[in-house]
Amino acid sequence: MDKVRFIYNPHSGESTIVTDIDKIIKVHQKYGYQVLPFRIGRGVNMGDAFENLDESCKYVLIAGGDGTVDLAVNIMKQKGIELPIGILPAGTANDFAKYIGMPEDMEAACEQILNSEAKKLDIGKINNKYFLNVASTGLFTDVSQRIDDNLKNTMGKLAYYLKGLEQVPNFRRLKIKVSSEHGSFDGDMYLMLVFNGQTAGNLKFAYKAEMDDGLLDVIIFKAVMFKDLIPLIIDMLRGEHLEHENAIMYFKTDKVTIECHENIVTDIDGERGPDFPLVIECIKNGIEVLGVNIY
């Protein structure tokens, strides 16, 4: 019997995955799969989930948020495991899962995965770490890192917004140097995002991004006057902000270098990223994903 390694975080999002486990197993048994569950949590090494896998394991099913998926992908890359992955959106934001078209209903998501062919998608690499959705730095980028897990699981997305409001008094210009063959920036900014996906915090920043073009989408929010931010916000609501050249610098590239001496951190899909300087590159066809429904 074919097998699937099922990695789940019982505390992700609103912890609903616990009540969905029976549905997940039922759907897989219908298709002739044996589910091998691995529960992750505090004090558990996810790397153990990938030990003793043989050729009978056909794919890895990951239930959790963007950070959980990133961790699994990084471990797979470190161990040289080339199995396809399937993603069940069980976290708070689930930006990557939503972008590839995964239903929130777990039974429907499993059906979509099991009735699909694996698709090769790009992934990002920031120094020695991999990411699926977005790497960022600047104001508000460490909001997720500052939220207590219990608060995040209890209040969901509202916890992000409340924590973001706490950082408004720290609103300031940040000096940064960005270099690539396709665009460069040396000046003051508020926020910088490098997308492999399209959304962050359920906001579609990179609506021109494609996940199989071998390119990352770089968006820099320039440190303009506050009065100039109002038209930008209006354009964001319309989904036209990437054309707002006065306040935003936008370009696509396969590799970008970032230097910064400000006292700020980096973020990878809600988790702490590496320190500066950064080299961020696109790994074309870096991962095989099941259930993709974006075209």
What string of pLDDT tens digits covers the 295 residues of the chain? 899 999 998 887 666 898 999 999 999 999 999 999 999 988 899 999 999 899 999 999 999 989 999 999 999 999 999 999 999 999 878 999 999 999 999 999 999 999 999 999 999 999 999 999 999 999 877 555 454 555 444 444 443 444 444 454 466 899 999 999 999 999 999 999 999 999 987 789 999 999 999 999 999 999 998 788 788 888 887 888 998 888 999 999 999 999 999 989 999 998 899 999 999 999 999 999 999 998 6
List Cβ<8 Å contacts ≥24 apart for 247-251. 247/221, 247/222, 248/219, 248/220, 248/221, 248/222, 249/183, 249/185, 249/218, 249/219, 249/220, 249/222, 250/217, 250/218, 250/219, 250/220, 251/180, 251/182, 251/183, 251/218
CA torsion angle 21 27 31 32 (round to 10): 40
182 with 271, same domain: the answer is yes
Could you tell me if 134 and 110 lie in one domain?
no
Asked, for residue 79, whether it belongs to a domain, the answer is: yes
**Closest-CA residue to 133 (of 144, 146, 147):** 144
Domain finish residue from 85, 115, 145: 115
* 55 in a structural domain: yes
- Residue 49 sits in the same domain as residue 183: no
Q: Residue 70 falls within a domain, yes or no?
A: yes
Question: Is the same domain home to 30 and 68?
Answer: yes
**Contact at 8 Å (CB) between 57 and 4?**
yes
The boundaries of the domain holding residue 55 are 2-115
pTM given for the model: 0.90
Within a domain: residue 292? no
**123: buried, middle or exposed (CB in 10 Å: 19+, 13-18, 0-12)?**
buried
Residue 222 in contact with residue 249, Cβ under 8 Å? yes
Domain count of the chain? 2
Same structural domain, 252 and 209: yes
CATH at residue 243: 2.60.200.40
CATH code for the domain of 78: 3.40.50.10330
